[in-house]
A and B are shown apart, each in its own frame.
Chain A
Amino acid sequence: MLKYIVRRLILTVPILLGLSILVFLFVRALPGGPAIALLGERATQESVEQIEEELGLDRPLPVQYLSYLRNILSGDLGSSVSTRRPIVDELKQRFPATFELAAMAMLFAVAAGIPLGYVAAKRYQGVLDNVSLVASLIGISFPVFFLALLMKYVFAVKLGWLPTVGRIDVTRSLEHPTGFYLLDAIIAGDGEAFVDVLEHLIMPAIALGTIPLAIVARITRAAVLDVLGEDYVRTAKAKGLDPSVVDRRHVLRNAMLPVVTVIGLQTGLLLTGAVLTETVFSFPGLGSWILNAIRFRDYAVIQGGILFFAGMFIVVNLLVDISYAFLNPRIRYR
């Protein structure tokens, strides 16, 4: 098992290297180049050359790449043009926000999706099965931003039950040692703040989690139906095991294999979905950050952000593969 994990970890190195090359070239392939982006369209030739020399852009590409790589490895992603703050600092602040949001969204999707799919499969072709099929179809086809706006209108504007924007009430003072507000509230022992942060998370998490919920439910249903027809389930019944044991040990454990893969892929995709959700709810996470960077042509932020997103995607995939190996003994030693 350890060997497998180490091998997978080593495999991520070339992926990350390739990724850094792509991001590096992407920025340099943009029309005008970084100097123009920094100085604007009407910059003089002189000032462009001066900036290029300052940034080392007049050197050969491989040399530039190596110094860029050295900077990344030492934890320096450059600075934002618009805020002048180091990108690493911004990441430290915004990543916890998106992480919290994505985790809540996935929690919602998994906690509701797996039981729904399971029940639908057990009541195959019954009323509940059909209802959940239609509902999940609607869930998948519903645009995230529209659902977000709709919820905001109903629950925040009309009913006034939930806050509309941000991560926390602006008037509340809470220390942020970790940047994960829920965790911060627990550390501070501030129950009210915890509830406040949670209330701010509910709508964005539901909006973001709806599509994964529908997908998780459908995959769970299909997987459980598949496994219910397997010979080893019949064997388990022939042993006289209680139905709950048959379902837990024999049906669900096998059905979880495809579900885990889908959960992993969806978690990766949540990061993209976060762009829309965070914008609608003015949630100060990575999504809204990158959106603003694109709006202001803040290339250093885009570059750093893409690298970070891609890195996250790789980490999530790695985690999925490792958990898959835990669940499925057949691939462990291959």
Chain B
Amino acid sequence: MALLSVEDLEVRFFTRRATIHAVNGISFDLDAGETLGVVGESGCGKSVSSLAMLGILPKTGRITRGEVRFGDRDLVKLKDADLREIRGRDIGMVFQDPMTSLNPVLKVGDQVTEVLRKHLDMDKDGARREAVAVLDRVGIPHASERVYDYPHQFSGGMRQRVMIAMAIACRPKILIADEPTTALDVTIQAQILDLLKGLVKEEGMGLILITHDLGVVAGICERTHVMYAGRFVETAPTNELFDRPRHPYTLGLLRSVPRLDASQKEKLIPIPGAPPDLSILREGCSFAPRCPYATDESRERTPMLEGIDGPMHRVACWNPVPDAEVATVASSSLEASGS
């Protein structure tokens, strides 16, 4: 049985002006020790789905359909008090911007100990020792002294390590990392990804890595879901996705990754148009207006994820990109952006 099983999750935001269809029925399983990538551009609903799973959506957001099965419980139906027992203990979360995600007026040690004391019933001294151990584990030098420092005394990369320490302090079964490297320098990005990779391996945690950066998933994730306008449009083992992207959107993403080895004359191929307005829910594939392969069927009926090239590779498209066209472009992109 999967560790976490999301079934047809739908999230909407109800504002005075409009209803935003942020997430429109996504399903996936996460096994223990598995690393899962969710890729998509800003506003496609990837962060919202993770907040929804933990029940910490902003006030206007609500889960309107679906299940999030964790063990024998459905997190969607749990009372907030029960959900709080799971948050931070069984499911840890790392956010994008370490500069703003830590409380500026609390000592770093206190921010780690509070999660230990809440979930593991530790006393003050025990929690302090454990906090030092966790901070040491995520690679913070002189952790026993630095617990008394405030976030502003840490660099960006070190702060993200603190965030990770808080998220893994209770040894959760699942770690959700939402754009964990986006706000960091490239060299620091690699360090943080290595750290995550190592932790997942040692602890056997399931990792959900949310990012817009294809290079990040290439280096770390076994499976990748591509998200567009609140839906998964393609899901495949990461290598296969990069080698043979079948959804025109995935192909577009790969083609728009800049490459150092490209010749001067070679230009990036951007995806034309802009993502759809999520306050209007239309029938048909939401990528159709930007898609060179779109047919009348694409515009009229919404495609479902279906197996293509075997059961592991699924795509939601009426008219997938032909194999021949894919091969040349995509594989070189992987080398440039990945590993």
Chain A interfacial positions (CB closer than 8 Å to B): 230-232, 234-242, 245, 249-250, 253-254, 257, 327-330
Instruction: Say if the beta carbon of B36 comes within 8 Å of chain A.
Output: no
Are B106 and A249 neighbours in the complex by a CB distance under 8 Å?
yes
In the A-B complex, the 9 residue pairs with the closest CB atoms: A240-B88, A240-B87, A239-B88, A231-B100, A329-B150, A232-B103, A240-B84, A238-B93, A231-B101
Instruction: State whether the Cβ of B105 lies closer than 8 Å to any Cβ in chain A.
Output: yes
User: When the two chains form their complex, are residues A329 and B114 in contact, meaning their CB atoms are under 8 A apart?
Assistant: no
- Let me know if B254 is at the binding interface, CB within 8 A: no
Smallest distance from the beta carbon of B324 to chain A beta carbons, Å?
Answer: 46
A230 to B100, CA, bound (A): 7
Contacts of B107 in A (CB 8 A): 329
CB nearest to A235 among chain B residues: B101
Q: Given A231-B97, A234-B95, are A241 and B88 neighbors across the interface (CB < 8 Å)?
A: yes
Rounded to whole Å, the gap between the CB of B204 and the closest CB of chain A is 21
Bound-state Cα–Cα, A257 to B92, Å: 30
Evaluate contact between A240 and B115: CB separation under 8 angstroms.
yes
Known contacts A235-B101, A239-B114, A240-B115; decide if A253 and B106 are in contact (CB<8 Å).
yes
**How far is A253 from B104 in the complex, measured between Cα atoms in Å?**
10
A-B contact pairs, 9 of them (CB 8 A): A235-B102, A239-B87, A239-B88, A240-B85, A241-B115, A249-B114, A250-B106, A330-B150, A330-B152
Asked, given contacts A239-B115, A240-B119, whether A232 binds B104 with beta carbons under 8 Å apart, the answer is yes
Bound Cα distance from A319 to B118, whole angstroms: 35
With the chains together, A232 CA to B102 CA distance in Å?
5
Write the nearest CB–CB distance from B57 to chain A, whole angstroms.
10
Q: Which of B77-126 contact A (CB under 8 A)?
A: 83-89, 92-93, 95, 97, 100-107, 114-115, 118-119
Bound together, the chains give a CA A246 to CA B114 distance in angstroms of 11
Contact at A238–B54, with CB atoms within 8 Å?
A: yes
Find the residue from B85, B86, B166 having the highest chain A CB count within 10 A: B166
Closest B residue to A327 by CB, please name it: B105
A254 touches B103 (CB 8 A): yes
Whole-angstrom distance between the alpha carbons of A245 and B150 in the complex? 19
Q: Which of A235, A238, A328 has the most CB of B within 10 A?
A: A238
Give every chain A residue within 8 A of B115 (Cβ-Cβ): 239-241
B residues adjacent to A (C-beta < 8 A): 51, 54, 56, 83-89, 92-93, 95, 97, 100-107, 114-115, 118-119, 150, 152, 163, 166-167
Q: Are A238 and B100 in contact (CB under 8 A)?
A: no
Output the nearest chain A residue to B55 by Cβ-Cβ distance.
A237
Closest chain B residue to A227, Cβ basis: B103
- The binding surface of chain A is classed by DSSP as helix
CB distance from B162 to the nearest CB of A (A): 11
Bound: A329/B107 CA distance, A? 9
- Per the bound structure, the CA–CA distance linking A235 and B163 in Å amounts to 9
* 11 additional A-B residue pairs with CB within 8 Å, beyond A242-B84, A329-B105: A232-B101, A232-B102, A238-B92, A238-B95, A239-B87, A239-B114, A239-B115, A240-B87, A240-B118, A245-B114, A329-B150
The answer to whether A242 touches B106 (Cβ under 8 A) is: no
Residue of chain B at shortest CB distance from A237: B56
Tell which of B54, B93, B100, B152 touches A329, judged by Cβ atoms closer than 8 Å.
Answer: B152
Query: In the complex the two chains form, what is the Cα distance from A181 to B87 in whole Å?
Result: 54
Tell me which of A235, A254, A329 has the highest count of chain B C-beta atoms within 10 A of its own C-beta. Answer: A235
* Most interface-central of B103, B106, B167 (chain A CB within 10 A): B103
Give the shortest distance, in Å, between A69 (CB) and chain B (any CB). Answer: 42
- Of residues A236, A250, A328, A330, which shows the largest number of chain B Cβ atoms within 10 Å of its Cβ? A236
A117 to chain B, nearest CB (A): 19
What A residues does B87 contact at CB under 8 A? 237-240
Q: Which residues of A contact B152 (CB under 8 A)?
A: 329-330
A232-B56 Cα distance, complex, nearest whole Å: 13
Bound-complex Cα distance A257 to B54 (A): 30
Residue among B85, B88, B118 making CB contact with A238, cutoff 8 Å: B88
Could you tell me if B84 and A241 are in contact, using CB atoms closer than 8 angstroms? yes
- Residue from the list A242, A245, A253 in contact with B105, Cβ < 8 A: A253
With contacts A242-B84, A254-B104 taken as known, whether A235 is within 8 angstroms of B118 at the C-beta atoms is: no
Q: Which of A240, A245, A249, A250 has the most CB of B within 10 A?
A: A240
- Interchain nearest-CB distance for A228 vs B (Å): 9
Chain B residues with CB under 8 Å of A240's CB are 83-89, 115, 118-119
The CA-CA distance from A233 to B134 in the complex, in Å, is 22
Residues of A contacting B83 in the complex (Cβ-Cβ under 8 angstroms): 240
CB proximity of A233 to chain B, nearest CB, Å? 8
- Cβ–Cβ < 8 Å partners of A257 in chain B: 105
A107 to chain B, nearest CB (A): 25
Q: When the two chains form their complex, are residues A242 and B100 in contact, meaning their CB atoms are under 8 A apart?
A: no
Residues of chain A lying within 8 A (CB to CB) of residue B119: 240
Q: When chains A and B are docked, how far (Å) is the Cα of A239 from the Cα of B93?
A: 8
Q: What residues on A are CB-neighbors of B166 within 8 Å?
A: 235, 239
Q: Roughly how many angstroms separate A231 CA and B115 CA in the complex, as a whole number? A: 17
In the assembly, what is the distance between CA of A328 and CA of B152, in Å?
11
Does B105 contact A328, Cβ atoms closer than 8 Å? Answer: yes
Q: Distance in Å from the Cβ of A223 to the closest Cβ of chain B?
A: 13
Q: Given the complex of chains A and B, what is the CA–CA distance between A245 and B111 in angstroms? A: 12
CB-based contact A241/B93 at 8 Å: no
Residue of A nearest to B115 (CB): A239
B195 to chain A, nearest CB (A): 18
Shortest Cβ distance from residue B29 to the other chain A in the assembled complex, whole angstroms: 22
Contacts of B103 in A (CB 8 A): 232, 235-236, 249-250, 253-254
